[in-house]
Structure formats: structure tokens, C-alpha cells
Structure 1
Amino acid sequence: MSKYKIHPLLEKRWSPRAFSDKPVTEEDVNKIFTGASWAASARNEQPWKYVYGLKGTPGFDRLWECLLPGNQPWTKNAAVLFVALQRHTFESNGKTNKKAMHDVGLANAQLLLQAVSVDIYGHLMAGYDAGKAKETLRLNEDMSPVCMGALGYLGDANDLEEPFKSREREPRTRKPLEEFVTKL
């Protein structure tokens, strides 16, 4: 897959759309979010918050309604939906935290790796209505959504509708290092 050997969790991580109907336990959800909690952050502020809903609950349905139509068909099968939020100011001094989104990204990366370590897969999405999410979650001005995510066990791509079925079967590719790494 890669020219250079990397950690197996990094190779295993991907963003599926096909999820099985197997539920994710509350215990595993807590482990996954604990993985996010250990991410590095500016001044150790940990400017992230997560709001989630389990499939079959009103919370899941409220979050699902925030998704754009392009993500709704396949996310209905996920076991968990969540919103990753960022706090815009430092709690310690009230000043703007210009690196908050970066830190949330680190937390999301660790969340995904923790999930895949127990065979739960995640798919992060930008295709959601941020205004609706803010309203649904009653966020104040210091908090805003960064992305939404779906979590679950792998399902069968044949159960997906098109165009999702085809996308699920496409080979995973990555740009070669020469395209994004430069030695000075």
C-alpha cells in the first residue's frame, strides 16, 4: 500500500460508508472519546467538545437531520453520529485561540485511531448544515461545529445505494510523498 512501512492502525484506518447493524456499546464510545482526550493542544486547553447520539435514539435522529442530503442515505446505518465542536477562546485568559481547529483535528485523528483499534470505523463529514447544528445544540458564540462523524462496525458495500456502493469499492489511494513533502 505505502512505499514506507507505517503503523498498522494507520494503514487500517479508512472512511467507510457501509456500516453493519451491530451496535457500538457505551463503553466503546467512551473509550473512543477518551482517545480524543489525549490529543495535544495549545496550552493543553483541549478546545474540543463532542456531542453524540446512538442509533435508535432521538439524539441520533436530531444529529442525522443536520446532515446534508448527500450524507443522509448511508449514515442512517451508522451506530453513532457525533458532532466535533471547537471552543474559540482560551479558558485560561479569554483570548482567541487561533489554533483551536487544528487541535480539534488532532483530537479527531486520535478518535479515529482509537476506534479502529477495536474494529470500529469512523467517517468524518463536512457535509452538514452548521447553522442547523448550532441551533439544534443551542451553542453559544464561543462554540462552533468543526465536522460531523459516523461510527460503526464495517458493513457490506452491496447494501449501499449508488453512488455510495461504487465509492465504497474504489481502491484507497494516497499522493506520493514527492507531491507534498519538500526537503530544503
Structure 2
Amino acid sequence: MTLLDLASRHADTDAPLITPLVERWSPRAYDPAAELTDDDVRTLLEAARWAPSANNVQPWRFIVARRGTESFTTIHDALMGFNQAWADSAAALIVNIAEVADEAGAPRPWAKYDLGQAVAHLSVQAQHDGLHTHQMGGFDAARLASEFGLADGLEVVSITAVGKVGDAAALPEPLREREVAPRSRKPLDELVIAAA
């Protein structure tokens, strides 16, 4: 797959959705020459900032590292091998952190949910802006917390790769095969337990 056939990655939805949701998918092939500007990063973070949160606590924090920086290398080195095989071409890696306890140590039970909302807002904004994101769970959270000196109560939950789509042919097998495989989702009747 090349940059010219992105339409083949569009979601085959059962109801009309806004364009960024139809076009959103999680590539592993990123353009290794594409860069994010300061404005790009600011816009993504602004979208995350305006996500809803319980009691408007906004319990999300981010570490944004652009390719070529020491922070990017630190994050990349903490990824599991499967993710390391492709994430080095992303324009940036964003560490998504939940503030799971307040300064007094009281738990914030909805923090991870709220962080997920913020990352979803960031992802939809990225798609709208012609960028793509890929969420990752394979990483060493303790290593990242130590490397970046995260305070107690802050928990690394996920990492987001951001950038422009590259050529799938540059990926090693079996990642190349997964990159071009047909997209699928469970049908709604498997996801909805009850609807009145």
C-alpha cells in the first residue's frame, strides 16, 4: 500500500459518521521524513485538553517527543520489540499518563477513562489534520516513569505514535501483511448488551 490508496483503509460503517472517524485507522508505516511543527503539536494537545473529564479534573499528562530527540529515543527504547520494529519512523511518540491519585494520595478512579477520552480527542484531531495515530500498549511503564522522573500518582497508560502515513512496503513481514489486511469490527449486536 502506498500513500495513494488510503481510501482502501476507510471504515465500512453501518451508519453515517464524520469523515475523520471514517478515515481513522492505525498505521505502522510512517513517513520517516515527515515532521510535526510546533503548531501541529499544540493543536493535538489542545484537542486533548478540551476532552471531558470527571469533575473537570483533567487527570491527563503527556510527554511529547519528536523523532531525532533524546526523549524520542528514550521512549522508543522502552517499547517492546514488536513496536520498536516500526515506531522509529513516526514523527513523534506521545506518552499518555493518567493522574490516578491526587496530591494527598486520594485515588482518582476515573482517571484512565478520562485519559482515554483525551487521547481519542487527540486522535480525531490528528486525523482531521492529515496525520495518523497508532496507540500502543507494549512498553516498559516502570522504565518510562523512572527515565522521566514521574511523581507518585502518575501512571503511564499508553503511547501514541503520530505522523504521516508511509509506504507499507518498507515494513518487515509480518507487519507489512497486517498493514494492508482488510479492516474489520465486531457487529453492533455483539457490542450492545441492552438498548431501549
TM-score (norm 1): 0.96
Alignment of 1:35-184 (within 5 A): 35-90=47-102, 95-181=106-192, 182-184=194-196
The alignment partner of 1:144 has SS state of: strand
Q: Distance in 2 between matches of 1:69 and 1:176?
A: 32
User: Any gaps of 5 or more consecutive residues in structure 1?
Assistant: none
Q: Distance in 1 between matches of 2:191 and 2:172?
A: 34
4+ long deviations beyond 6 Å: none
Q: Give me the identity figure in percent.
A: 36
Q: Is the 8 A contact 2:102 2:153 kept in 1?
A: no
Q: Is the 8 A contact 1:85 1:144 kept in 2?
A: yes
The offset of 1:57, in angstroms, is: 1.1
Q: Residue type matched to 2:98 in 1? A: Q
The alignment partner of 1:49 has SS state of: strand
Aligned length: 183
Q: Is the 8 A contact 1:18 1:155 kept in 2?
A: yes
* 1:94-132 CA-partner distances (Å, limit 9, x unpaired): 531100000000001000001111111010100001111
Q: Distance in 2 between matches of 1:183 and 1:124?
A: 29
CA RMSD of aligned residues (A): 1.2
* 1:55-97 CA-partner distances (Å, limit 9, x unpaired): 1111111111110111001001000011000111246x75311
Q: Residue type matched to 1:27 in 2? A: D
Q: Distance in 1 between matches of 2:134 and 2:171?
A: 15
Q: Is the 8 A contact 1:88 1:143 kept in 2?
A: yes
Q: Is the 8 A contact 1:63 1:133 kept in 2?
A: yes
TM-score (norm 2): 0.90
Q: Distance in 2 between matches of 1:171 and 1:25?
A: 32
